[in-house]
């Protein structure tokens, strides 16, 4: 790439996903939208996941990237592995919490040192980090004076529930010391909650669990950065979003669904739109088989431990009776709300523009 004045003046964001499949996919979709809005993007995977990405996408995966979009890899500090599987969650939390700050700083220093070379990329002007990566990203943000934007890939309801997990611990309301049906009526914006409705961090609410404490550490720095993005649709979670905004010293923006925004905005940008994030090689044989079947001919296989009469009753209720009809009507209403939110003047599009403007103004 040959540098030019226009290109070198663009904001340059590095995007830091948590090193797991769903987080990588969500961050990559946001990166595509930011690139479409005019930002240069450096997408950062761990070396472990970068290898898997190349193995899944083939040797030509990185050959046809759009101008101003690049992938790089950094070490995660964990023992080397050639496995083709997601790493241990507790180990990944340890890495994101304590081991990746230095590699992120080194990367930014290297990127800024290459700004006048043939790469053509301008110096890094913003860090967009998965909320679970901000404990490490904040180190680089402070060292280089680069603004930080947080991305929560979960819903606003889930995010608020995570924020209140430490309160449960303080109140002694952690299982197994409390009935799971105990009501929680003190979380703003969330009604009819019970202990069993709260996040459980890989099946446990042990007060000493590393993942639970990692989550608490993340929530404790909720106000760090210049903005927070939540991957949701504003009209669907307005009460919870208002509650979160009232707690935050920085703007909170609902932007989503990312994939629908991409489908509606990147129609003529095939190279950008079709950058993949799968860490496993896709097997399309099942889809080919499914396409070969007659419409509505493929049924549901039920295990021997399931009561068929009960399944039949639930299916009939959903397909034929009033409850099912109400659910279908509600689903269609939600679909329309989401479609409107991702339109040119919808809430998600407007919020995305606000985020880009904030990144540019803090460049």
309 included as an active-site residue: no
Give the chain's mean pLDDT: 88
pLDDT greater at residue 140 or residue 305: 140
Would residue 335 count as lying in a domain? Answer: no
Provide the CA 169 distance to its chain's centre, in angstroms.
Answer: 26
Residue 103 sits in a domain of what CATH number? 3.40.50.2000
Query: What band does 1 get if pLDDT is binned at 50, 70 and 90?
Result: very low
50 included as an active-site residue: no
Q: In the prediction, which pLDDT does 2 show?
A: 43
Structural domain containing residue 12: 5-284+342-361
Mean pLDDT within 316-337: 83
Mean pLDDT within 354-359: 96
Query: What band does 116 get if pLDDT is binned at 50, 70 and 90?
Result: low
On the CB side of 335, CA atoms within 13 Å amount to 6
Choosing from 12, 23, 35, 50, the catalytic residue is 23
Would residue 329 count as lying in a domain? Answer: no
Q: In the prediction, which pLDDT does 268 show?
A: 81
Would residue 327 count as lying in a domain? Answer: no
* pLDDT (tens digit per residue) in 204-256: 556 677 887 888 889 888 888 999 999 999 999 999 999 999 999 999 999 99
Would residue 317 count as lying in a domain? Answer: no
Would residue 333 count as lying in a domain? Answer: no
Count H helices and E strands in the chain, helices first.
15, 9
Choosing from 130, 138, 209, 231, the catalytic residue is 130
Q: In the prediction, which pLDDT does 302 show?
A: 61
Report how far residue 76's alpha carbon sits from residue 5's, in angstroms, rounded to the nearest whole number: 35
Would residue 301 count as lying in a domain? Answer: no
Q: pLDDT at residue 11 above 50?
A: yes
- Within a 10 A sphere around the Cβ of 293, how many other Cβ atoms? 9
Would residue 304 count as lying in a domain? Answer: no
Would residue 306 count as lying in a domain? Answer: no
Number of domains in the chain: 1
Predicted structure pTM score: 0.88
């Amino acid at each position: 790439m040959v540098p030019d004045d226009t290109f070198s003046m663009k904001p340059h964001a590095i995007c830091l996903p948590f090193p797991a499949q769903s987080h990588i996919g969500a961050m990559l979709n946001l990166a595509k939208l930011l690139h479409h809005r005019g930002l240069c993007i450096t997408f950062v995977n761990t070396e472990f996941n970068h290898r898997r990405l190349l193995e899944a996408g083939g040797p030509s995966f990185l050959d046809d990237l759009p101008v101003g979009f690049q992938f790089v890899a950094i070490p995660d500090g964990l023992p080397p592995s050639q496995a083709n599987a997601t790493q241990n969650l507790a180990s990944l939390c340890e890495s994101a919490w304590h081991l990746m700050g230095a590699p992120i700083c080194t990367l930014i220093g290297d990127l800024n040192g290459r700004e006048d070379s043939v790469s053509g990329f301008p110096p890094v002007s913003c860090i967009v980090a998965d909320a679970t990566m901000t404990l490490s990203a904040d180190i680089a943000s402070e060292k280089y004076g680069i603004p930080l934007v947080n991305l929560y890939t979960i819903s606003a309801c889930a995010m608020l529930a995570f924020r209140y997990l430490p309160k449960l611990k303080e109140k002694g309301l952690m299982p197994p010391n409390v009935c799971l049906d105990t009501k929680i009526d003190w979380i703003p914006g969330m009604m009819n909650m019970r202990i069993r409705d709260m996040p459980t961090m890989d099946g446990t609410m042990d007060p000493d669990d590393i993942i639970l404490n990692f989550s608490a550490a993340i929530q404790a720095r909720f106000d760090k950065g210049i903005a927070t993005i939540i991957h949701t649709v504003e009209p669907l979670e307005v009460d919870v979003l208002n509650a979160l905004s009232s707690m935050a010293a920085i703007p909170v923006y609902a932007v989503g669904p990312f994939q629908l925004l991409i489908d509606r905005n990147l129609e003529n940008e095939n190279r950008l739109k079709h950058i993949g994030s799968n860490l496993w090689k896709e097997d399309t044989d099942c889809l080919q088989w499914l396409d070969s079947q007659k419409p509505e001919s493929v049924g549901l296989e039920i295990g021997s431990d399931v009561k068929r009469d009960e399944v039949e009753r639930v299916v009939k209720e959903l397909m034929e009776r009033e409850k099912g009809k109400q659910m279908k009507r509600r689903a269609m209403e939600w679909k329309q709300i989401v479609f409107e939110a991702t339109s040119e003047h919808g809430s998600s599009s407007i919020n995305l523009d606000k985020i880009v403007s904030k990144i540019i103004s803090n460049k």
